[in-house]
Chain A
């Protein structure tokens, strides 16, 4: 009963995602000239101004270390947390030498 319901909701979610991924109703793929300016204006800005504003010629590193450096700091914290968590959980049990 529960499994059937779960499977049915997964099928429903998949259907919704397929509709959303259909260019006629939802997301467009392979954006061309006009659409690029409409949907990817932020990316266009980074491409145009990245070199002069940040100084790096690699746009990806310009974004992840300058424009969105705070997210990178967050990702580093995620890694730090996972390591601290893994080390904490794999430590010896109490009373075990």
Chain B
């Protein structure tokens, strides 16, 4: 049985049935949310295993067995195209969402309107899954909107706090502008090429690379850089992530900026504008794009992002704001990996950089999920997130402190933990490509080291008045943190095995040296 459709059906059914289930009252909606997200995690794991085992791109047509129309040679229906990158992202999304929902059981206990909260959380998860599995560019936009609208509402969910509403309004205005840029780009592509299927669009663009597709690419990349929080347009992120409830911050920071941001950038560049195909055309002297310029633009923004994001994290006094700026900095590393992957396309260096970027997406999702859970535990138990008021938490909250130390060392990238391997791959490739980029990357890490050392002092040091009566949080908050700590440790021990077995094939499939993404669709033509 093909389980892929259930990846969408399960959270969709869960979200739409939540208003009815919550009529049963009390605990039911929470158990329902946990069951639904747990099932989705299981399905995503199955899909990932299937794709990983067969090492082939899974194509699924909505409404038919064949995406190609009768008697013609082009796709007429919406398709899903799940390669390893998409499947890996789907697995990460469902995993962190499941833990975030588990964590909310206790964390959100004192809030009202919880039936809407769980509905919106499931919709957020659904939107992200839809974005990562789709093979149709308009469908991508629809699910990007689902994801964005759910996250606007969840950022402002605590409507009795001024910062929640302020951040929500800011996020909504900036995010809608970015979405409209993306829609404009899609409209231009459709007007010129007459198709919405990504793989077929890639062929059409290679046949006839026009000015319009360049402009559309600029709009798409511009809009998606907004969504991923790259530096000149990161201001919404540093407000939205601290203001949201911590379980949602973990999802926003770990997943939303990846699925709706860097994943989409990578998919559009490597899937639709395919540097390999254009390089191949150029050897025959045919008109083709030179994507190196785009690669350097992305590298430029990546360097800006990773230095400014990490540097701004140093001067923060608010724990969650510091983590949010650190997320901006880590997005810089991922973009740097993708940028080098474009300029050094087809090279060993480009492959290493892509592997590092893909690996860092997963690592950062896990680590930042843990760090925001910890910040949530501190806020929930102590009642403040101001770093100046907190000190000496270690004696009262030993488990939280140990988790924080593990999370912080992992995100800085110290050897026994998982952050090391992915950052190492990015350093290595940037040093081989251009040593200046490696220097910039190391400067970013130095800032991030300083920032996290500052937070460490709030856990160690002399006990302040505020923390005298503090206890550890309950089981429902401890368990997700414990799971993430174990994952970080295990991924740290097996980091190079994971890199070889999972991340390298993923990067190869994304790079698609032989145009696999297009071939997966083309094999249907002639069969219909």
Give chain A's interface residues, CB within 8 Å of chain B. Answer: 16-17, 19-20, 25-27, 38-43, 45-46, 49, 53, 66-71, 73-75, 77-78, 80-82, 84-94
* Other-chain contact of A85, B111, B153, B191, B215 (Cβ < 8 Å): B153
Q: Is the interface of B mostly helix, strand, loop or mixed?
A: helix
Once the chains are docked, how many angstroms separate the CA of A38 from the CA of B188? 16
B68-110 contacts to A (CB < 8 Å) = 69-70, 72, 74, 76-78, 110
In the complex the two chains form, is A26's CB within 8 Å of B210's CB? yes
Determine if A71 and B119 form an interchain contact, defined as CB atoms under 8 angstroms apart. no
Chain B residues positioned under 8 Å from A93 (CB to CB): 159-160
- Inter-chain CA distance A45–B157, complex, in Å, is 45
Chain B residues bordering chain A, tally (CB within 8 A)? 51
Q: Given B113, B145, B188, B195, which contacts A88 in the complex, CB threshold below 8 Å?
A: B113
Set of chain A residues within 8 Å of B12, measured between Cβ atoms: 73, 77
Interfacial chain A residues near B156, Cβ < 8 Å: 89
Contact: B149 with A91, CB < 8 Å? no
Which residues does chain B contribute within 8 Å of A42, judged by CB atoms? Answer: 74, 76, 194-196
Task: Establish whether residues A41 and B211, one from each chain, have CB atoms under 8 Å apart when the complex forms.
Answer: no
Beta-carbon nearest neighbor of A19 in chain B? B211
Which listed residue (B70, B113, B194, B211) contacts A40, Cβ 8 A?
B194
Asked if A46 and B117 make an inter-chain contact with CB atoms under 8 angstroms apart, the answer reads no
Report A67 CB to chain B, min CB distance, Å.
6
Interface residues of B in 173-217 (CB under 8 A from A): 188, 191-196, 210-212, 215
Check B188 against A80 for contact (C-beta < 8 Å): no
Q: Is the CB of A26 within 8 A of B211?
A: yes
Asked if B486 lies at the interface with its beta carbon under 8 angstroms from chain A, I say no
Q: Would A67 and B77 count as touching, CB distance under 8 A? A: yes
- Point out the residues of chain B lying under 8 angstroms from A16, CB to CB: 215
Which of B135-143, B333-341, B356-364, B500-508 forms part of the interface with chain A? B135-143
Interface membership of chain B positions 293-306, coded 1 if the CB is closer than 8 angstroms to chain A and 0 otherwise: 00000000000000
Q: Which 3 pairs from chain A and chain B are nearest by CB?
A: A85-B153, A88-B116, A74-B142
Q: Is the CB of B212 within 8 A of A39?
A: no
Residues of B within 8 Å of A94, CB to CB, are: 110-112, 160
Q: Is the CB of A49 within 8 A of B69?
A: yes
Interface centre among A73, A88, A92 (most CB of B within 10 A): A88
Bound-state CA distance A36–B146 (Å) is 33
**Cα distance A25–B15 when bound, in Å?**
46
Q: How far is the CA of A78 from the CA of B123 in the complex (A)?
A: 9
Q: Tell me whether B15 and A45 are in contact (CB under 8 A).
A: no
**A84 touches which one: B123, B142, B145 (CB < 8 A)?**
B123
Q: Which of A41, A71, A86, A87 contacts B139 (CB 8 A)?
A: A71
CB distance from A27 to the nearest CB of B (A): 5
Q: Which residues of B contact A82 (CB under 8 A)?
A: 149, 153
* B contact residues around A92 at 8 Å (CB): 112
Q: Do A70 and B78 touch across chains, with their CB atoms under 8 A apart? A: yes
B123 touches A80 (CB 8 A): yes
- Which residues of chain A have C-beta atoms less than 8 A from B152's C-beta? 85
